[in-house]
Structure 1
Amino acid sequence: MSRWAGSTLEDRAAARRAALIEAGIELLGTQGAAGVTVRAACRAAGLTERYFYESFPDGRDALLLAVHDAVAAQARAAIVAAVGAHAAAGGGAEDEALAYAAVGAFTAFLEEDPRRGRVLLSESFSDTVLARHDAELVPAFAALLVAQITALPDAPDQLDAELTAVALLGALRNLYLAWLADERAISTARLNAHAARLVIAAARVSSRDVS
């Protein structure tokens, strides 16, 4: 029986697009941006180039962006879910456990699928398309940190929170890159503790006394 039996045209198109994105995650996450080509994606997804361009008329770069978007959205969802679970359990914004919940969720997200670290954190250094897109993703991830910082008692003002969030994103990215590059020689518990305490310490930084 055909794998498309009983499905609508829209369902088939969506399934083909999803298969191509999954192929892109595999290629980008194991071979890097240089390994992501139209031919390689089609081969991995078991589809022809006709169907590739049906999903991504702008070609290979459009697939790269879709892959990056998909993994970034999954990461944000994992962090939001962990923060929500913390709140549902009665934890407050001032509780250090909130920071541990957020960074722990991100660490677990990377451990669950090793390809994700390369897709989300490192390949933007080697591909200009991903580098530009990476910069566009910063506000969405920074907003997660801003929400935590501004909810603290005696929190810094909005500008301080935004500046700290951007600074923390850079610091945390390099921390996780070092962890991944060293084949996780640092224990997960130590990584989570260091990352969470870094967030907690930086959250109080304020420059509002300077005009």
Structure 2
Amino acid sequence: MELRSSAPSGQRRGRWSGVPLRDRQALRRSELITAGVTLLGGPEGPSLTVRAVCRAAGLTERYFYESFSDRDEFVRAVYDDVCTTAMTALASSSTPREAVEAFVALMVDDPTRGRVLLLAPEREPVLTRSGADWMPTFIGLLQSRLSHVSDPARQQMIATGLVGALTALFTAYLDNRLSATRQQFIDYCSDLVLRRAATH
């Protein structure tokens, strides 16, 4: 008689071997977020259901609801994770070109992340507020790099204009509406930031 494991696919026996109990929930949450990025940033648009996320992560719905109350909370958590990763990369860059290259590496070389950050708020109503909430954070980071501009109001306007322009450029690039090569795109975005910052 053949004995079959009752564990769902991906939840093989020993999966958590060696992981302290107190760390397992955080690890499961991380695996769910990773699956969520892939599904939310899919090339055909979001195809994210609780069941699809659990299947992609190899976890049961029990573990999903261990960390998230519902799909909406999960979608916001996925978006926040991508935004936090982007902010960390940008904040650690010492020059405008480094910042652009870091952002391209994160959001264009791995387009699922880029689609989560820039396209998902247009397709997921639950992210409308999240996108608006994160925008001042990105603007504030850029504004903090404009220390040579003495007027705070001008700093804020320059930073807001640049974030708007760069958002439009990256969105068009991810949507394949620009024919520029990767290098042309980096060069143009870097020059844009440098020109706008230097002329004020």
Matched, 1:186 2:180: yes
* Richer in helix (by share): 1
Please list the CA deviations of residues 150-198 of structure 1 after superposition, one character each: whole Å capped at 9, or x if unmatched: 2x2xx14112111221221111011111112227631222212221222
Matched, 1:203 2:200: no
Runs of 4+ residues deviating >3 angstroms:
none
Does the Cα contact within 8 Å between 2:39 and 2:48 map onto a contact in 1? Answer: yes
Please list the CA deviations of residues 89-131 of structure 1 after superposition, one character each: whole Å capped at 9, or x if unmatched: xxxxxxxxx2212112111222331211101111111112112
Matched, 1:119 2:132: no
The residue number in structure 2 matching 1:15 is 27
- Among 45, 50, 56, the alignment partner of 2:57 is 45
Q: Counterparts of 2:165 and 2:178 in 1: how far apart (Å)?
A: 17
The residue number in structure 2 matching 1:145 is 142
Q: Counterparts of 1:184 and 1:104 in 2: how far apart (Å)?
A: 17
Structure 2, unpaired ranges of 5+ = 1-12
Please list the CA deviations of residues 29-65 of structure 1 after superposition, one character each: whole Å capped at 9, or x if unmatched: 11533x11111111111111111111102x1111111
Q: Counterparts of 1:174 and 1:144 in 2: how far apart (Å)?
A: 18
The residue number in structure 1 matching 2:83 is 72
Q: Counterparts of 1:63 and 1:202 in 2: how far apart (Å)?
A: 37
The residue number in structure 2 matching 1:174 is 168
Give TM-score, length-normalised by structure 1.
0.81
Give TM-score, length-normalised by structure 2.
0.86
The residue number in structure 2 matching 1:90 is none
Structure 1, unpaired ranges of 5+ = 84-97, 207-211
Which residue identity does 1:39 align to in structure 2?
A: R
The residue number in structure 1 matching 2:45 is 32
Q: Counterparts of 1:49 and 1:3 in 2: how far apart (Å)?
A: 17
Please list the CA deviations of residues 128-160 of structure 1 after superposition, one character each: whole Å capped at 9, or x if unmatched: 21121011111221122111112x2xx141121
The residue number in structure 2 matching 1:209 is none
Which residue identity does 1:67 align to in structure 2?
A: V
Does the Cα contact within 8 Å between 2:108 and 2:174 map onto a contact in 1? Answer: no
Q: Counterparts of 1:52 and 1:32 in 2: how far apart (Å)?
A: 22
The residue number in structure 2 matching 1:6 is 18
Does the Cα contact within 8 Å between 1:160 and 1:205 map onto a contact in 2? Answer: no
SS at match of 1:149: coil
Matched, 1:61 2:72: yes
Q: Counterparts of 1:160 and 1:103 in 2: how far apart (Å)?
A: 22
Which residue identity does 2:121 align to in structure 1?
A: S
Deviation at 1:201, TM superposition (A): 2.8
SS at match of 2:146: helix
Which residue identity does 1:163 align to in structure 2?
A: M
